[in-house]
């Protein structure tokens, strides 16, 4: 249907397009410190064109192109930010996201779920409380599961977020950098850049001590993103 709008232009060098529909959110685990949920649409159907034709804007949602707080590209097809609000949905549409990975514990906002269903975006929710003294910390098993989602290119393009895009998001990105074999100095510099002015020493300790071997054991080498890295072949590294 022609609404008179100019179709949203694809962002530069972005992503193979898909046509997909959303399904209800299904809770897989529920605890005060951890909750894991996933919204699973049917398998995407690849289109012949290099980019998807943008969906019609959802009625009542703005078409501004304002990015969420702390938005940045982590690496090709992976982005990070704070919690997207309604005013950010127009910007997210232009990323042609296939998935969103959130680290918030709370139930995902209803208006955001409505937006994801309209756009056919899959939601992965690995709710964690964050690293806060003296008792709360992020379970390594949950971080491992989240990294397996990021390391599967079938989920890309994907946006990672927590409430502010600082501490929990910073921990996940820091552990991803370990998989990419960044030095701790570079990892902590990036973490502090986004978490300022309240960087957490417990977050940096968590990243430093995080063991990437369980991730290597679980990811599918055939669907690993094509990033410049020295981790290949992954199977050999996982057996060490």
Which of the residues are catalytic? 162
Spatial contact of 162 and 82, defined as CB atoms under 8 Å apart = yes
Q: Which residues, at least 6 apart from 126, have a Cβ–Cβ distance to it below 8 Å?
A: 34, 36, 101, 102, 103, 142, 143, 145, 146
Phi/psi of residue 214, each to 5°?
A: -60, -30
d(CA 149, CA 158) in angstroms, rounded, equals 9
Measured N-to-C along each axis, helices 201-209 and 184-195 cross at an angle, to the nearest 10 degrees, of 150
Angle at 37 between CA 80 and CA 14, to 5 degrees: 35
Residue 184, both tokens: 């701790």
Using DSSP's 3-state secondary structure scheme, residue 58 falls into coil
């Amino acid at each position: 249907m022609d609404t008179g709008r100019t179709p949203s232009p694809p962002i530069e060098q972005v992503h193979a397009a898909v046509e997909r529909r959303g399904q209800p959110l299904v809770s897989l685990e529920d605890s005060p410190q951890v909750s894991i949920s996933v919204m699973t649409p049917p398998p995407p159907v690849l289109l012949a064109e290099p980019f998807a034709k943008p969906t019609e804007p959802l009625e009542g949602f703005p078409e501004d192109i304002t990015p969420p707080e702390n938005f940045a590209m982590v690496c090709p097809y992976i982005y990070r930010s704070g919690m997207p609000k309604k005013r950010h949905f127009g910007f997210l549409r232009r990323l042609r996201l296939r998935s969103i990975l959130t680290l918030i514990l709370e139930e995902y906002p209803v208006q955001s779920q409505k937006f994801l269903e309209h756009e056919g975006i899959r939601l992965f929710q690995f709710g964690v409380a964050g690293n806060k003294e003296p008792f709360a910390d992020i379970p390594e098993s949950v971080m491992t599961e989240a990294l397996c989602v990021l390391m599967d290119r079938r989920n890309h393009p994907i946006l990672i977020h927590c409430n502010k895009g600082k501490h929990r998001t910073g921990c996940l990105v820091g552990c991803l950098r370990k998989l990419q074999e960044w030095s701790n100095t570079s990892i902590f510099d990036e973490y502090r850049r986004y978490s300022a002015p309240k960087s957490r020493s417990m977050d940096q300790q968590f990243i430093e001590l995080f063991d990437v071997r369980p991730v290597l054991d679980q990811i599918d080498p055939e669907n690993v993103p094509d990033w410049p890295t020295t981790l290949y072949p992954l199977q050999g590294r996982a057996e060490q």
